[in-house]
């Protein structure tokens, strides 16, 4: 961490340890957080996490199932909103609204190709 602190002092960049998170990536099923790993940075302690939401996307070691689950929930909410608010509109207008508001799949590039959860989204 002294590299970041040196860079911060040299270039006048301020890092906020309260807004920083240490993401822990693990391959094994034993994915508990190591309680003894304490990282002090810029006069504060960095919080550890197995996953975190950043720009609407969940990052971390078990993020694929979480991302797809959140996307399916968001999809259902948007579809129900379009259907309830525009139930009397012509079908071609509802279709355009559906494409515009419901099929926003920001972040789907992060989904693993072999992920089993993708089928859940396809069914939705």
- Write the CA distances from 104 to 72, 97, 100, 110, integer angstroms: 11, 11, 7, 14
The answer on pLDDT for 49 being more than 70 is: yes
- Mean model confidence pLDDT for the chain: 79
Q: Tell me the backbone φ, ψ of residue 57, rounded to 5 degrees.
A: -115, 140
Residue 112 has pLDDT above 80, yes or no: no
Per-residue confidence (pLDDT) for residue 30, from 0 to 100: 56
Q: What percent of the chain has pLDDT over 90?
A: 19
Percentage of the chain with pLDDT > 70? 79
**Is the distance from CB of 67 to CB of 97 less than 8 angstroms?**
no
- The domain ranges of the chain are 1-49, 62-124
Give residue 3's pLDDT: 82
pLDDT-based confidence at residue 14 (cuts at 50, 70, 90): confident
pLDDT value at residue 85: 92
């Amino acid at each position: 961490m002294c590299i970041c602190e040196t860079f911060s002092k040299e270039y006048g960049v301020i890092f906020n340890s309260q807004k920083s998170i240490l993401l822990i990536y693990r391959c094994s099923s034993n994915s508990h957080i190591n309680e003894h790993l304490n990282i002090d940075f810029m006069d504060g302690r960095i919080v550890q996490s197995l996953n975190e939401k950043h720009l609407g996307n969940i990052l971390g070691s078990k993020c694929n199932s979480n991302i797809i689950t959140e996307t399916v929930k968001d999809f259902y909410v948007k579809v129900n909103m379009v259907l309830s608010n525009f139930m009397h509109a012509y079908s071609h207008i509802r279709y355009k609204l559906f494409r515009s508001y419901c099929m926003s799949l920001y972040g789907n590039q992060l989904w693993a190709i072999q992920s089993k959860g993708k089928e859940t989204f396809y069914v939705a």
